[in-house]
Structure 1
Amino acid sequence: MKTLQYDEIHVENLEVFANHGVFPEETSLGQKFVISLTMYVDTRKAGKTDCLEESVHYGEVSSFMTAYTKEHPRKLIEAAAEDLAETVLLQYPLLKGVTLELKKPWAPVGLPLETVSVKITRFWHTAYLALGSNLGDKEGYLNQAIKELDSAKDCQVEKVSSYLVTEPYGGVEQDDFLNACLKLKTLLSPQELLERLHEIEQNAHRERLVHWGPRTLDLDILLYDDEVLETEDLIIPHVEMQLRDFVLKPMCEIAPYKRHPLLGKTMTQLLCELEEKG
């Protein structure tokens, strides 16, 4: 479990009076909500230095959650929990993830229950992306894609490789590509990230006319944490990354010792093997 590699700070049963709900009496009169939060963080440095700046101030977090919950009403308790968990992660950079439970003890269901609650766990994730362009202003398209990713509140670009000029892949006659890779910190799920990449491609007027054909912008998810995923439109790790030097070379630049979760080999090892095969 990912949560086991981090220490935990707990806030239990913080009471907040807010106006979340669907019914008029909920939105106008309000009701009590109870918040429990587990913060996943490395407390080692704070424990060794006894310095508040090296930890997350649970009092500040509690005050922040109280104010935010009051000021941002939602119809659904699921939406209120999702919004609050994301905002706490964005507000406190030391946090790796959170488990948040939002309880609604006065839920208007007309039955003798103690409480209704939603409990979610959300983490920052690390993804590696491949970027490519071989139409128009190639460098401009890559720069714009990086800018769009980094300007999104739920994404942070941490490293970008240099740009590499490569011959086209796949046998279609076309201009040379400009390729790169980047390291991304994100709150998005793999599917959400894929959809975001498609939006950025569309902003660059990407047209999917010919497989492996020319394109203004091509964005691929190479790795997402150490997940292995296969859906109808997304496979992680990228199925051909170990066969492409224009992926492995920039990956070796930004993450030479990152291991392929299926092959168990580092990017450097994969590139050496590919070059040995010619």
Structure 2
Amino acid sequence: MDTIYIKDLEVFANHGVYPEENKLGQKFVISADLSVDVRMAGLTDELEYSVNYGEVSHTIQDFLQKHTFKLIEAAAEGLAAELFCRYPLIRALRLEIQKPWAPVGLPLRTVSVEIRRSRHTVYIALGSNMGDKMAYLKEAVEKLSKLPGSSVKKVSDFIRTEPYGVTEQDEFLNGVLEMETLLTPQELLAQLHRIEAEANRERILRWGPRTLDLDILLYDQEVIDTEELHIPHIDLQNRDFVLVPLSQIAPWVRHPVLNRTIEQLRRELDG
């Protein structure tokens, strides 16, 4: 990925823990490294294929002057979200906010906070086998599309499948969607649990009936194993109700542990 650099942009703004900082204001120095694919811009000499660094610089100034934060950590987080929202070609960024001569009671040149943020591609499985199954799934897609810093890119067909694990229950309606998000895996998991709870999901019996089931299948090429979160999703390669819709929207995506594409895994499961 290519990079556009904005270095040492000076902005006078009002951020700080102390009331006088918010009232009087001071100079802040901002640097941003923007990861953007500028290949087409280089070949065509057209700005529409890149990001206007002058416009970005004004966006940085406007955001920091229109908002007041106690912490430069919060200012950096908010500014990063604003840049991702306004400029969809930015895939990742490094953002540093310096606060020269911060009032710490000691002589110093500057303090600063640096953050790195990026867009993530996530695949989420959806399932329901209680009540109005289609309505539950469609509502989940709508709520996922409205998560902060997120957008739904593709949704598979919803397919009817036999129950997995506990077989004495109604058939499921299953699907998979692809989304892009700024949320971390843990933040996303919390949002999925919230959406399930709003659909009156009850966790009584493992693999039992449920109004709505949302699972993170893949998060970029991350491998995560914690007490509450496993990515890639456990047993993904043995679940046709996941592989069939996932192969419909992302057959080329590679399982980060098994090193085989989703389409290969689906064919292997079919025998």
Q: TM-score, normalised by structure 1?
A: 0.96
Q: Does residue 231 of the first structure (1) align with residue 226 of the second (2)? A: yes
How many positions carry a matched residue from both structures? 271
Counterpart CA distance in 1 for 2:131 and 2:41 is 51
Partner in structure 2 of residue 244 of structure 1: 239
* TM-score normalised by the chain length of structure 2: 0.98
Instruction: Write out aligned runs for 1:59-70 (5 A).
Output: 59-70=54-65
CA drift at 1:172: 4.6
Alignment check: 8 A CA contact 1:18 1:33 kept: yes
What does residue 173 of structure 1 align with? 168
Instruction: Give percent identity, aligned residues only.
Output: 58
Distance 2:122 2:147 in 1: 15
Q: Does the Cα contact within 8 Å between 1:31 and 1:106 map onto a contact in 2?
A: no
Structure 1 contact 149–156 (Cα < 8 Å) conserved: yes
Q: Which runs of 5+ in 1 are unaligned?
A: 1-5
Match of 2:21? 26
Q: Deviations over 1:105-160 (max 9, x none)?
A: 02110111111000011000000010000010100000000001112341110010
Secondary structure of 1:95's aligned partner:
coil
Letter in 2 for 1:91: R
Q: Alpha carbon RMSD of aligned pairs, Å? A: 0.8
Secondary structure at the counterpart of residue 158 of structure 1: strand
* Aligned partner letter, 2:195: I
Aligned to 1:3: none
For 1:23, give the aligned amino acid. Answer: Y
In structure 1, C-alpha distance between the alignment counterparts of 2:89 and 2:262, rounded to whole Å: 28
User: Are residues 1:136 and 2:131 paired?
Assistant: yes
Counterparts of 2:56 and 2:231 in 1: how far apart (Å)? Answer: 35
Alignment correspondent of 2:269 = 274
Runs of 4+ aligned residues of structure 1 deviating over 3 Å after TM superposition are none
- Displacement of 1:203 in angstroms is 1.1
Match of 1:157 among 140, 152, 155: 152
The gaps in structure 2 that reach 5 residues or longer are none
The counterpart of 1:188, out of the listed 171, 183, 189, is 183
Structure 1: distance between partners of 2:10 and 2:198: 44
Does 2:86 correspond to 1:91?
A: yes
Which of 99, 106, 109 is the matching residue for 1:114? 109
SS in 1 for 2:33: strand
